């Protein structure tokens, strides 16, 4: 049987591991399509346009929002982020899952969109606030003041944990990875994700009646 794709959402406060786990899921299943977000922030060292993000200016971003071309969008730390809608619709209709690494605002918008029936959402909690801060510092990507802003924002992110389908405490990357794989494998078998299921049941019914 064919199946429809899932919109797999990973959210967490910065430093809780969603980007690392998103990468591991893509290594696990190379058919998993990553939703490349558009952003108005400048690229960081090593980031590639069209692979890590679609880097656009503010006018272009706002034009896409006005045209309804964004599945979700938000302003975070003075920059805009959003998920282009077209590639997502194409993928799920072709039976490919799409992976989103987004915050709670984006997750909420997708979960209330026309594609909500295909959403599978995860929120990743850190084992402690102390560990969250340690991870942000150890990344070596941000200045101290930026880390402090991320820490201040972390509780706002965490406060939305109960709007997700699954919530996992990421105290061990390998264990959390296995939990994600198990849940995704099971959710792919949802009746709502199998468009040919009803036809198969009708065929069984006809065979039964023809006996």
Q: Tokens for 84?
A: 């282009």
Give tens-digit pLDDT for 152-194.
Answer: 889 999 999 999 999 999 999 999 999 999 999 999 999 988 9
Specify the 3-state DSSP secondary structure of 137: helix
| Domain 7-35+96-204: CATH architecture, name and number where available | 3-Layer(aba) Sandwich (3.40)
Domain boundaries, the chain: 7-35+96-204
Contact between 26 and 34 under an 8 Å Cβ cutoff? The reply is yes
Statement: residue 1 has pLDDT above 60: no
Query: What length is written for the chain?
Result: 211
Whether pTM > 0.85 for this model: the answer is: no
Specify the 3-state DSSP secondary structure of 56: coil
CA distance 74 to 175: 31
The pLDDT of residue 39: 96
The CB density around residue 126, as the number of other CB atoms within 10 Å, is 22
């Amino acid at each position: 049987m064919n199946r429809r794709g899932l919109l797999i959402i990973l959210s967490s406060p910065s430093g809780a591991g969603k980007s690392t786990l998103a990468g591991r899921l893509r290594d696990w299943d190379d058919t998993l399509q990553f939703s490349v977000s558009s952003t108005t922030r400048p690229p960081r060292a090593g980031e590639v346009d069209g692979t890590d993000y679609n880097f656009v200016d503010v006018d272009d971003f706002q034009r896409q929002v006005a045209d309804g071309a964004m599945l979700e969008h938000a302003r975070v730390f003075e920059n805009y982020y959003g998920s282009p809608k077209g590639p997502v619709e194409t993928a799920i209709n072709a039976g490919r899952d799409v992976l989103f690494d987004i915050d709670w605002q984006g997750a909420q918008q997708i979960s209330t969109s026309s594609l909500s029936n295909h959403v599978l959402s995860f929120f990743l909690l850190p084992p402690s606030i102390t560990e969250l801060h340690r991870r942000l510092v150890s990344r070596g990507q941000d200045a101290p003041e930026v880390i402090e802003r991320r820490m201040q924002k972390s509780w706002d992110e965490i406060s939305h944990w109960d709007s997700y389908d699954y919530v996992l405490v990421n105290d061990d990357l390998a264990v959390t990875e296995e939990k994600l794989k198990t849940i995704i494998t099971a959710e792919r078998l949802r009746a709502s994700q199998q468009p040919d299921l009803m036809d198969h049941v009708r065929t069984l019914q006809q065979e039964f009646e023809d006996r």
